[in-house]
Every structure is written in C-alpha cells, then in structure tokens.
C-alpha cells in the first residue's frame, strides 16, 4: 500500500502560555481520502490544521506529510504539499487582483512567468472562475472570495488540502457551488467544519475532536447516527 498522505502519531501541542491545545492526536489519511474534522469551538481543529503545514510546530510526537517529516528542513516542501485555506478569505487575499493573489504561491516557488501564468489559469479553471483573473479581490462576494482562496492553494499543486470552515458564512447557492467543487477535487482532504449536512454529503470518514483530543474516528454514517456521541461533544444530529 502507498504511504499515507498525512501521518500523525501521538501529537502534543501547548500554547506558549502553557494551555494545552492538542494531546495524543493520532490520525492517518490515505491518498485521496476525504475526511471531515468536527467538534465544538476551541476543540483544536484549527490548531491541528495549522500543524499540517508547519505554521505551528509540535512539541512531541510525529507528523509526516507524504512521508516527509514536518521539520525546519522540510518546511518549504511541506508548505507546497499542503494547501491550507483559512476560514476568512480576506486574510488570504491581499493583492490588488485575483491573478496576483493566485500567483503568489507559484512566484514564491520561483517558477518562470509562463509557468506561473499556466498555474494560475489551471487553478482558476478548477474553481470555475477563469474569467475572474483581472478582477479586484476586494470587490468579490464572500462565496467568490472563498473559491479564489481555494484557487490560491491549488496553484501550488498540493497533495493535501486542509480547509478551515469552507462553507461558513455562505448563502445556500454559494454553499452548493462549493460542495460541488470539493467533490470534484482529487486531493486528500481534511476539512474542519460545523456544517454536518455537508459532512454527510461529502465525506466518507469523520473525526470528532474535543478539548484537544480525537474522541471518535470512523465512517461518517456511523458517527452521525450516534446521538449520544454528538451531544456529548456539543454537536447536533443533522
């Protein structure tokens, strides 16, 4: 069997003030697997996503992306392998035009202008927004911004997508578009969300986190049926 895309073994992390944010987290994601990460606010979902591309670094445990240890030496490679999409697209879109925003990753990698161009157009077409290249990011709707934010990481051709609340704040139509989009993506995917109907629709496997720990990990259908489990961790049956 091929090596896992994401391999987390006994990961611990505490904030500088000593407050423990993650403890004893184990998680394996196989290539192409789509996994939902659910749990109450403050459960450690975002903190875990930030570890995947080394924005936060774990104190103990092991963390490998496509077989690469996440450490200072591999940081650059890991960041290209993991596309991290933040909850607020405004944080991710800081250039005058959509093109500049999507081009950030490829330019940073040192690609030639022609390659950058190609990557940007490929990424925009994956989110069905090719005609937006010359638009001003600031003027887009939330749904459009979220799709552009996704394109900014697709342009880096990542193996793993780590998405934080992709459907939050979207109107029903924009949410529907996004769900379609995510179902088309071939990458390994770890998605932190409160949107359980989307989880049921899109993900075969669900991981429940609470207070920095993985409290359940299994087939989505089984987890979303377990009323007691959901209630114990501040979730509601969809």
Partner 1 sequence: MHVHFLDPYQDRPSLLHRLDARVKLLAALAFILTTSLTPPGIWAVYLLLLAGVVAAELLSDIPLGYYQKRALLALPFILAALPLPFTVSGTPLWTVSLGAWSLTASQEGVVRLLSIAFKSWISLQAAVVLVSTTAFPDLLMALRALRLPRLLVAIIGLMWRYLFVMVDEALRLMRARTARSGESAQAGLRPGGSVLWRARVAGGMAGSLFLRSIERSDRIYMAMLARGYDGEVRSSSTPRVPGREWLILTLFLFLLGALLALSLLLRAS
Partner 2 sequence: MLFAPTPMHIPDGFLSTLVAVILWVLAVPVIAVSLRRVNRDLGEREVPVMGVLAAAIFAGQMLNFTVTGGTSGHLIGGALATIVLGPWAAVLVMTCVVAVQALIFQDGGLLALGANLFNMAIIAPFVAYAVYRLIQRVANGRSWTLFVGGFAAAWASVFVASLATALQLAASGTSPANVAVPAMAGIHALIGIGEGLITTGALALIFAARRDLLQRDAAPSTRSNTPVWVGGGLLALALVILSPLASAHPDGLEWVAEQKGFIDTAQGSLYNVIPDYVFPGISNEAAATILAGIVGALIVLGAAVALTASRRKQAKA
Binding of partner 1 at residue 168 (CB under 8 A)? no
State how beta strands 34-38 and 188-192 pair.
parallel
Q: Are 101 and 129 in contact (CB under 8 A)?
A: no
10 touches which of partner 1, partner 2, none (CB within 5 to 8 A by kind)? none
12 touches which of partner 1, partner 2, none (CB within 5 to 8 A by kind)? none
Stretch 125-154 residues interacting with partner 1 (CB under 8 A): 138, 152-153
Among 156, 160, 207, 235, binds partner 1 (CB under 8 A): 156
Work out the burial of residue 233: count CB atoms within 10 Å of its CB; fewer than 13 is exposed, 13-18 middle, 19 or more buried.
middle
Residue 158 has phi, psi (to 5 degrees) of -80, 160
139 touches which of partner 2, partner 1, none (CB within 5 to 8 A by kind)? partner 2
* Nearest one of 26, 49, 52, 44 to 210, comparing CA atoms: 44
Q: How far is the CB of 16 from partner 2 (least distance, A)?
A: 13
Q: Toward partner 1, which CB reaches closer, 86 or 226?
A: 86
Rounded Cα distance between 206 and 123, Å, is 27
Stretch that binds partner 2, among 30-38, 44-52, 133-141, 155-163 (CB under 8 A): 133-141
Stretch 73-102 residues interacting with partner 2 (CB under 8 A): 94-97
Q: Are 46 and 192 in contact (CB under 8 A)?
A: yes
Among 9, 14, 107, 168, binds partner 1 (CB under 8 A): 107
């Amino acid at each position: 069997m091929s090596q896992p895309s994401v391999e987390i073994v006994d990961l611990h992390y505490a904030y500088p003030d000593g407050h423990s944010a993650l403890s004893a987290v184990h998680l394996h994601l196989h290539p192409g697997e789509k996994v939902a990460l659910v749990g109450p606010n403050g459960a450690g979902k975002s903190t875990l996503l930030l570890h995947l591309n080394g924005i936060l670094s774990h104190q103990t445990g092991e963390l490998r992306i496509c077989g690469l240890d996440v450490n200072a030496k591999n940081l650059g490679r890991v960041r290209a392998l993991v596309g991290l999409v933040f909850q607020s697209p405004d944080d991710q879109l800081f250039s005058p035009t959509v093109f500049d925003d999507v081009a950030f990753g490829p330019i940073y990698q040192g690609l030639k202008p022609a390659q950058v161009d190609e990557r940007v157009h490929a990424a925009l077409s994956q989110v069905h927004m090719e005609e937006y290249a010359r638009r001003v990011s600031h003027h887009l709707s939330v749904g459009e911004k979220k799709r552009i934010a996704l394109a900014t990481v697709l342009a880096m051709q990542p193996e793993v997508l780590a998405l934080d609340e992709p459907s939050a704040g979207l109107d029903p139509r924009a949410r529907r578009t996004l769900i379609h989009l995510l179902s088309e993506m071939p990458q390994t995917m770890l998605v932190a969300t409160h949107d359980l109907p989307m989880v049921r629709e899109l993900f075969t496997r669900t991981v429940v986190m609470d207070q920095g720990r993985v409290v359940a990990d299994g087939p989505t259908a089984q987890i979303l049926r377990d009323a007691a489990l959901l209630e114990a961790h501040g979730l509601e049956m969809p």
